[in-house]
Chains A and B, each alone.
Chain A
Amino acid sequence: RRAPQAGRAALPFLLKRLVNTQFADLADMSISEDIAVEGEITVPVGAPSPDEDFSTLDEPVRETIMRDLKAVGKKFVHVMYPKKSSTLLRDWDLWGPLVLCVSLALMLQGGSADSKEDGGPQFAEVFVIIWFGAVVITLNSKLLGGTISFFQSLCVLGYCVLPLTVAMLVCRLVLLAGSGTVSFIVRLIVVLAMFAWSTLASTAFLADSQPPNRKALVVYPIFLFYFVISWMILTFTPQ
């Protein structure tokens, strides 16, 4: 499914190596390191032909689905134990952010689900805040000269909403038990902890793609983004 790299960048390097090893015996021959080689390699992409691979429609589709599900699961695990890992970033997908966004928005709506005025605007609001906020942060980091691509950044920001979704779940459970001062303090601590976790997890992935003197400029919108979400979670009261 993943094609080998187009060889354009690798061509000069390969030729240099080839030349240097082939002619290593000729002691007096010095090869200039500045050989500029232009060329094009179009690597035939090894995708399976339609006739061979999909003779039974179910089997390969199931494989595709399982592979994508496993990739999503791996990313969720990575968010819980954040370490900078570039292989994780390479395979971006937006399924995790979609699931997290929908579950967070579902948990954040207050009224009964059967009425016509059932918190409709709140649901769409959460959606818009999360996606629009993520897009704005990505644009900001790209304008500051970041090397990370648009969808990778959306992917990371979306996945790092996971701790806050967990916080929302905990808050709803705590609110079932009561809504006094104690429950507020418990919720405050949980939300603060998860907010810190989200922010640290996403900056672990995103800040490294920036030059060092601009890290703060990139981190503070992320801080604001998760702060707004945490605020929505903390101030949630069921009706």
Chain B
Amino acid sequence: RHPLATFFHLFFRVSAIITYLLCDWFSNSFVACFVTILLLLSFDFWSVKNVTGRLLVGLHWWNQIDEDGKSHWVFEAKKLSTAAASSEAEAQIFWLGLIICPVIWTMFFFSTLFSLKLKWLALVIAGISLQTANLYGYICCKLGGQKSISRTTSFVAAD
């Protein structure tokens, strides 16, 4: 039902990985590759967090700061109606994309470390952090949603 969202969910992540693997073919410049991959990772983080999670699986997580300065992480899970059961495939694509890419970046981390191409390390660490953050946030949403029987649940964790 949301083909565009599914496409974009995978597009930025997969492009970042492909660019990282093939950067020597695209351009000789380390800086151009670094900036491109970083921008792709940032766009991916933003779109998965704000758009595709809501559309594909009905989950949303964010950080909220009260008036007295305390910050809370809010995890929200919407119970999908039965009409949305047909988007089972989209949910599977969502979770597969969410889980596989951090694993791939972790493999890149070890390969960078052991081949001593250390100038890429900052980028790989950034990639791992951004993608793992999304994965962790959505897992918390999912677990929080399963614990409750009400239609709309929100699980608040203090920072």
Question: Which residues of chain B from 40 to 60 have a CB within 8 Å of any chain A CB?
Answer: 42, 46, 50-51, 54-55, 58, 60
Question: Which of B60, B76, B156 contacts A6 (CB under 8 A)?
Answer: B156
Interface size class for chain A?
35 or more
A230 nearest CB across to chain B (Å):
22
Q: Is the CB of A47 within 8 A of B69?
A: no
Query: Is A92 among interface residues, defined by CB-CB distance under 8 A?
Result: yes
Instruction: Say yes or no: is A61 at the interface (Cβ < 8 Å to chain B).
Output: yes
Interchain CA distance A21-B65 in the complex, whole Å: 31
Task: Determine which of B42, B54, B64, B159 lies in contact with A50 in the assembled complex, contact meaning CB atoms within 8 Å.
Answer: B54
Which of B9-17, B29-37, B95-103 interfaces with chain A? B29-37
B74 at interface, CB cutoff 8 A: yes
Q: Among residues 1 to 41 in chain A, which have CB atoms less than 8 Å away from a CB atom of chain B?
A: 1-3, 5-6
The answer to whether B84 has its CB under 8 Å from any CB of chain A is yes
Contact A102/B38 with A47-B76, A123-B31 known, Cβ cut-off 8 Å = yes
**Residues on A facing B (Cβ under 8 Å):** 1-3, 5-6, 42-45, 47, 49-51, 54, 57, 61, 64, 68, 86, 89-92, 95, 98, 102, 106, 109, 113-116, 118-121, 123-124, 127-128, 147-152, 209
Could you give 17 example pairs across A and B, Cβ below 8 Å? A2-B64, A3-B74, A5-B66, A44-B154, A50-B55, A50-B78, A57-B2, A57-B55, A61-B51, A92-B65, A98-B38, A109-B31, A113-B31, A119-B31, A123-B34, A124-B122, A149-B70
The 3 A-B residue pairs with the shortest CB-CB distance in the complex, in nearest-first order: A120-B30, A149-B71, A90-B65
Query: Beyond A57-B55, A91-B65: 19 further Cβ-contacts under 8 Å?
Result: A5-B66, A45-B74, A50-B58, A54-B2, A57-B4, A61-B51, A64-B51, A86-B69, A90-B65, A98-B38, A106-B31, A116-B28, A118-B29, A119-B31, A120-B30, A120-B34, A148-B69, A149-B70, A152-B71
